Chain A
Amino acid sequence: MSFLKSETARAWALASPLVLVLLAFLVLPIIWILVLSFWRATEFAMVPDFSFENYAYLFGSTVTWQVFLSTFRYALITWVLTLLIGFTVAYYLAFHIRSSTVQMALFLLCTVPFLTSNIIRMISWIPFLGRNGLANQALLSMGVIDQPLEWLLYSDFSVILAFVHLNTLFMITPIFNTMMRIDRSLIEAARDQGAGGWQILTNVIIPLSKPGIMIGTIFVLALVMGDFVTVRFMSGSQRSNVGRLISNDVGLLQYPSAAATSIVLLCTVLILIGLLMRFVNIRKEL
């Protein structure tokens, strides 16, 4: 009885629902994917096995390396752009807007586009950027160009444009949140000590916004590295990333091969986030 009343037991009891949910819906599926990645596939069936064939094929193909490389490239470029835009927007909202009502109104305005499906938001770029789309027509009629720009659509440009458009909010929100918690007297103190605007930004605001930046980074990286739909539609299937490799395999009933690729992707993303965590201890700073 004394055990049941103890602090430890209460802590366990409180934590157990979450543990069970995570076990059932996160850990077990991942274990299942791991197991599956060692199976073999025939045309339409999966054969239980313990074979490294899927991994051997994955690492043996130059295409895999290229695809992982382009996935990192998309993630990096998207990260830089969403960070720049996200930080600027959050900074403006947090420090330049004085009235908290206007602040909240503007912040909610940022979220309005997210009330529609992200597929719709993405696909609506296609007629805009097309060879005979609005962008090209406008540029042609203004005389800026005399041939339609081909690279506007079905290119790296359109993929990254869509990624930035879809994911910037995930950067704005956490950065805005941490910026709002910064004690304004610190900024005053810095100013009293004679710091200029730039010094305040680099020495006070950026270090104190780090947890927000880090959370935003994790969101953006995870979303971009796991994406397949944006790359498929915005590149007209001409470019690929790891997500598309997996979705192609699933479409062709090659589940074990898809599982192996997923495991490799999962490990890559986990290592990446592990590295990021070394730079900033999110839990301590929240």
Chain B
Amino acid sequence: MSKMRYSRRSLLKTGVAAAAASAFPAPMIWAQEIKDITLRQFGTGVSNLNEVGQKVKEDLGFTLEMTALDSDSVTQRAATQPDSFDIADIEYWICKKVWPTGNLQAMDTSKIKNYDKIVGIFRSGKLTPESVIAQGTAPHTVGFTSGPGGKDFVAEESGWMTLIPTIYNADTLGIRPDLIGRPIESWTELLNPEFKGKASILDISSIGIMDMAMVCEAMGEIKYADKGNMTKEEIDKTIGIFTEAKKAGQFRAFWKSFDESVNLMASGEVVIQSMWSPAVTAVKSRGIPCVFQALKEGYRSWGGGLGLSKSLTGIELDAAYEYINWYLSGWVGGFLMRQGYYSAVPDTSKEFMTADEWGYWFEGKPAAGDITSPFGDKLAGAGDTRDGGNFYERMGRVACWNSVMDENQYMVRKWNEFIAA
């Protein structure tokens, strides 16, 4: 309770990051007022974790209310109900859809303390200077706008960000090695008749179509100019191939939420499917073997970030910036990385991870001892290495980013037909 006597400035100094304070020339805000602030955040389940809310209360003093929804609902809400949230925790492809509505406000990068440490993927687009930028909605292409009030996207680092990157990962297929019993190396295996009635794909059109494209391209059926921006013919052909497979009984089920994918895999209903890293983690933590299989064609990647509602002003806006700075200062990054995601500022997260955890998750080294999730479940034992290797091997082999296409509406209708077929 002694915190109540401190100004915001000293709160920050004693709290998370002293240097951040100099970045805020805003008038002093009394801790009591900060305490009364409630920021409403919503987003997909991946990073909307209660632990984050609790830690915010502890470290920053204000209340963060979190709502977890599926990607479609998140897009819908961000696009149509700007007053229902303060902070939108969304993916970059959602940002491409939502930003032009003007429901979010641009963020001044000079107020972001760790801006310079954010990985290249979110700034220049290049992980390393030699990197080739993958197809799809690469985060940096929708990461910057021309200035406050801008509804456009600009290519260069303009100093005004649409989303502050927080989390990203490289996705691939999840498999049950114990039930498959042979090596899996290519995306084509998803449609292999060997797994008839035991495969699954996710029913979120914008992501599912990418997994489909990875499969069709690997099969040599279609050569895409840009998987992230298909033509109508490419969409027809892709969905045609999968509709045929569906009718032939290839799929056991489609999943829409994280939990569904975990249950399908853990119960053995499905042995190969589109999956997300923490879902694999969740299956493993039940003691069931599950591998997030690295495939020769590369990964389908995604990134998420925090966007501010246009209706945020004054002290709430200051609190939101404070929250974002706190987010990038390491604790959350460490928390997310210990579940298999990557943090936008890995350097700060390192301080919140043990050397062994850092070695296992980021550097792809064999674990020295047990690796546990932040929730205490054992995920790997001594000698195990992360599926796919280190950060650069994984994020360096991205074939495509989650995206939204010019022909999105057409694709959505076709997708709806695929689900209904």
Residues of chain A whose beta carbon lies under 8 Å from any beta carbon of chain B = 41-45, 57, 61, 63, 66-67, 126-127, 130-133, 150, 153-154, 235-238, 240, 244-245, 248-249, 251-254, 257
Given contacts A150-B197, A237-B256, 13 further A-B contacts (CB under 8 A): A43-B97, A67-B420, A130-B267, A130-B269, A131-B268, A131-B269, A240-B420, A248-B416, A248-B419, A251-B76, A252-B415, A252-B416, A253-B72
Complex: A150 Cα to B251 Cα, angstroms: 12
Bound form: Cα–Cα A254–B413 in Å: 9
What separation, in Å, do the CA atoms of A116 and B343 have in the docked complex? Answer: 42
Cα–Cα, bound, A238→B254 (Å): 7
Q: Considering the chains assembled together, what is the distance between the CA atoms of A43 and B263 in angstroms?
A: 32
The answer to whether B73 touches A251 (Cβ under 8 A) is: yes
The interface residues of chain B lying within 8 Å CB-to-CB of A237 are: 203, 253-256, 419
B417 touches A (CB below 8 Å): yes
A57 to B408, CA, bound (A): 16
List, in ascending order, chain A residues with CB within 8 A of B200's CB. 236
Nearest chain A CB to B77's CB is how many angstroms away?
Answer: 10
Distance between Cα atoms of A154 and B263 in the complex (Å) = 14
Distance, CA A66 to CA B421, complexed state (A): 8
> Which chain A residue shows the least CB distance to B96?
A43
Which residues from 364 to 420 on chain B have a C-beta closer than 8 Å to any C-beta of chain A? 404, 408-409, 412-413, 415-417, 419-420
Q: Which residues of A contact B253 (CB under 8 A)?
A: 154, 235-238
B416 to chain A, nearest CB (A): 5
In the complex, are the beta carbons of B269 and A153 less than 8 A apart? yes
Cα distance A252–B267 in the bound complex, in angstroms? 29
Instruction: Flag whether B313 is at the interface (Cβ < 8 A).
Output: no
Contact of B101 with A by CB under 8 A? yes
Flag if A251 contacts B72 (CB, 8 Å): yes
Instruction: Report the Cα distance A132→B264, complex, angstroms.
Output: 11
Does chain A have a CB within 8 A of B295? no
Complex: A9 Cα to B267 Cα, angstroms: 66
Q: Provide the B238-275 mask, 1 if CB < 8 A to any CB of A, else 0.
A: 00000000100001111110000001100111000000
B263 surroundings in chain A (CB, below 8 A): 126
- Contact assessment for A41 and B409 in the assembled complex, using a CB-CB cutoff below 8 Å: yes
Q: Which residues of A contact B421 (CB under 8 A)?
A: 63, 66
Which listed residue (A67, A238, A251, A257) contacts B246, Cβ 8 A? A238
The interface on chain B, measured as residues whose beta carbon lies within 8 A of the other chain's beta carbons, has a size of 37
B47 contacts A by Cβ under 8 Å = no
Give Cα distance in the complex from A127 to B269, angstroms: 10
Q: Which of B197, B251, B267, B408 contacts A132 (CB 8 A)?
A: B267
| Closest CB in chain A relative to B98 CB, distance in Å | 7
Residue picked from A42, A237, A253, A254, most chain B C-beta under 10 Å: A237
- Name the prevailing secondary structure of the B interface residues: helix
B203: chain A residues within 8 A (beta carbon): 237
Note all chain A residues with C-beta closer than 8 A to B413: 57, 254, 257
A239 and chain B: residue at smallest CB distance: B420
* Residues in chain A near residue B76, CB distance under 8 A: 44, 251, 253
Asked if residues A42 and B420 are in contact (CB atoms below 8 Å), the reply is no
- For the complex, what is the distance from the CA of A43 to the CA of B246, rounded to whole Å? 27
Instruction: Decide yes or no whether B133 CB sits under 8 A from chain A.
Output: no
Query: Does B84 touch A at the CB level, under 8 Å?
Result: no
5 closest A-B pairs (Cβ-Cβ)?
Answer: A236-B253, A237-B254, A44-B79, A251-B72, A240-B420
Shortest distance from the beta carbon of A218 to any chain B beta carbon, whole Å = 26
Which B70-93 residues have C-beta < 8 A from chain A?
A: 70, 72-73, 75-76, 79-80
Query: Is A253 a contact partner of B75 (Cβ separation < 8 A)?
Result: yes
Q: Which of A44, A133, A257 sits near B101, CB closer than 8 Å? A: A44
Q: Decide yes or no: A61 and B417 within 8 Å by CB, A43-B97, A127-B267 being known contacts.
A: yes
A161 to B: closest C-beta gap in Å: 16
Closest residue of chain B to A236 (Cβ to Cβ) is B253
Q: CA–CA, A178 to B142, complex, Å?
A: 65
Q: In the complex, are the beta carbons of B254 and A236 less than 8 A apart? A: yes
Contacts of A126 in B (CB 8 A): 263
Question: Which chain B positions have C-beta within 8 A of A43?
Answer: 97, 404, 408-409
- Among B197, B200, B246, B413, residue most surrounded by chain A Cβ atoms (within 10 Å): B413
Give Cα distance in the complex from A132 to B197, angstroms.
14
A45 to B246, CA, bound (A): 32
CB distance from B404 to the nearest CB of A (A): 8
Residues of B contacting A254 with CB < 8 Å? 409, 412-413
Chain A to chain B contacts (Cβ below 8 Å), 30 pairs = A41-B409, A43-B408, A44-B75, A44-B79, A44-B80, A44-B98, A63-B417, A63-B421, A126-B263, A131-B268, A132-B267, A133-B267, A150-B197, A153-B269, A154-B253, A236-B200, A236-B254, A237-B253, A237-B419, A238-B251, A238-B253, A244-B420, A245-B420, A248-B420, A251-B70, A251-B76, A253-B72, A253-B76, A254-B412, A254-B413
In B38-85, the 8 Å CB interface with A consists of 70, 72-73, 75-76, 79-80
Are the CB atoms of B97 and A44 closer together than 8 Å? Answer: yes
Question: What residue in chain A is nearest B100 (Cβ atoms)?
Answer: A44
Q: Decide if B205 is an interface residue (CB 8 Å cutoff).
A: yes
Within 8 A of A (CB), among B198-222: 200, 203, 205
B255: chain A residues at CB < 8 Å are 236-237
**B412 neighbours in A (Cβ, 8 Å):** 252, 254
- Asked if A66 and B420 sit within 8 Å, CB to CB, the answer is yes
Q: How far is the CA of A132 from the CA of B176 in the complex (A)?
A: 15
Please name the residue on chain A nearest to B204 by beta carbon.
A251
B419 & A45 in contact (Cβ 8 Å cutoff): no
Closest to A257 in B: B413
Chain B residues with CB under 8 Å of A238's CB are 246, 251-254
How distant is the Cα of A43 from the Cα of B100 in the complex, in angstroms? 11
- From known contacts A44-B80, A44-B98, A131-B267, infer whether A252 and B72 are also in contact, taking CB-CB under 8 Å: yes
Q: Name A154's closest neighbour in chain B (CB-CB).
A: B253
Residue from the list B72, B97, B416 in contact with A245, Cβ < 8 A: B416
Closest B residue by C-beta to A151 = B197
- Closest B residue to A42 by beta carbon equals B409
Q: How far is the CB of A265 from chain B (nearest CB, A)?
A: 14
Chain B hits for A150, CB < 8 A: 197
Known A43-B409, A44-B98, A150-B197; contact A240-B268, beta-carbon cutoff 8 A: no
> Which B98-113 residues have C-beta < 8 A from chain A?
98, 101
